[in-house]
Structure 1
């Protein structure tokens, strides 16, 4: 999900909440007779002709289709997005295009990080985030892991990725999670 989708969700939720709160307050004030000159019974005779018009079913159908399309668009915007799968390498030009698949590079980096002392597992992906190319490496570490060692391996891995992808603009984000409990040490018989 993108930041734009989250912003739209939050804005629409806030507007919907404010609208419902305002309607609730107006309903209570109308019921209590505190709206001044507002009529106690609501007179709908001015719009009773509307459903009898020939165009009314078509207008309702068009509005329903529009709302269904907007709802579908909203649902699709919440699907998990895939990361960057291919990158153009420097040297691409009118004569040809040099492309690298990012999957094997990210998998190799995650494997190297996972083989570091104190790291249980690691995985990663590359995304575009606010116009920047970002590699996300997520690692689960043991409770007693030496953070200096893990950090130095993570630095070396991201430097190797920059070199392999020939991208100086590659930013790295390494997230470490502590394992719930340490794995038991293997027994030697």
Structure 2
């Protein structure tokens, strides 16, 4: 998502949260009679019947259309961005065109990491994040893994990925999760 959408979501979420917290605190204070001047009963009066006026259908229609457009705009801003992960390689032969599937390369890099003893599993994909092409690696490491070895392995994998794809604007992001327990050792084989 773009920064503006994230900022708007956080602002609206914060305002709604504050309104709900304020309403809850006010209801508790009213229930326990914290406000001495507050009435102990609420009386309601019948409001004027605005539905019979000439402007009511126009106002409700305009409000409904505005809310519909706002909802559609919100949904389109939150749609995931699709990235074409096929890239043309530099021409080595003038008779054809070579394409590389970047998602396959990122997945292979993550699976290569998962073959190491420090890593349990891995996956990867290419994303378009705020206008930047990002290769994301998602890996789970063992709790007993040496972080120096993990860092070296991830740095080597991203360097190899950069070499294989040859996209100078490619950025890398690695998400590491730590497993709760070490992987149990495989049972001994009986011959």
What TM-score do you get using the length of structure 1 for normalisation? 0.68
* Number of positions where the alignment pairs a residue of Structure 1 with one of Structure 2: 170
Aligned to 1:127: 127
Do 2:110 and 2:123's aligned partners in 1 also have CA atoms closer than 8 Å? yes
CA RMSD of aligned residues (A): 3.7
Change (3 A) 1:100 1:54: farther
**Shift of residue 174, structure 1, vs aligned partner:** 1.6
1: CA distance, partners of 2:69 / 2:19:
23
C-alpha distance in 1, partners of 2:108/2:182? 25
Name stretches of at least 5 consecutive residues in structure 1 with no aligned partner: 34-41
Tell me the alpha carbon deviations over residues 56-96 of structure 1, each in whole angstroms, 9 at most, x when there is no partner.
Answer: 313312311321332243245445x255332544659xxx9
How far has the Cα of 1:97 moved from its partner? 8.4
TM-score by length of 2: 0.68
Alignment match, 1:11: 11
Kindly tell me: are residues 83 and 185 of structure 1, through their superposed partners in 2, closer, same or farther at Cα, counting changes over 3 Å? farther
Deviates more, 1:146-155 or 1:157-166: 146-155
Does the CA contact (< 8 Å) of 2:143 and 2:179 recur in 1? yes
**Separation in 2, partners of 1:113, 1:17:** 42
Distance in 2 (CA, whole Å) between partners of 1:135 and 1:75 is 25
Which secondary structure does the structure 2 equivalent of 1:62 belong to?
helix
* Contact residue 103 and residue 125 of structure 1 kept, 8 A: yes
Q: Secondary structure at the match of 1:73?
A: helix
Partner of 2:34: none
Query: Are the structure 2 counterparts of residues 184 and 174 from structure 1 closer, same or farther at C-alpha, using a change threshold of 3 Å?
Result: same
| Segment of structure 1 superposing worse, 7-16 or 162-171 | 7-16
User: Relative to 1, partners in 2 of residues 1:179 and 1:82: Cα closer, same or farther, differing over 3 Å?
Assistant: farther
Change in Cα spacing, 1:161 to 1:180, as seen in structure 2 (3 Å) is same
Point out where structure 2 has 5 or more consecutive residues left out of the alignment: 31-36, 39-44
Partner of 1:106: 106
Contact kept in structure 2, 1:117 and 1:149, CA below 8 Å: no
Asked if the contact 1:138–1:176 (Cα under 8 Å) also holds between the matched residues in 2, the reply is yes
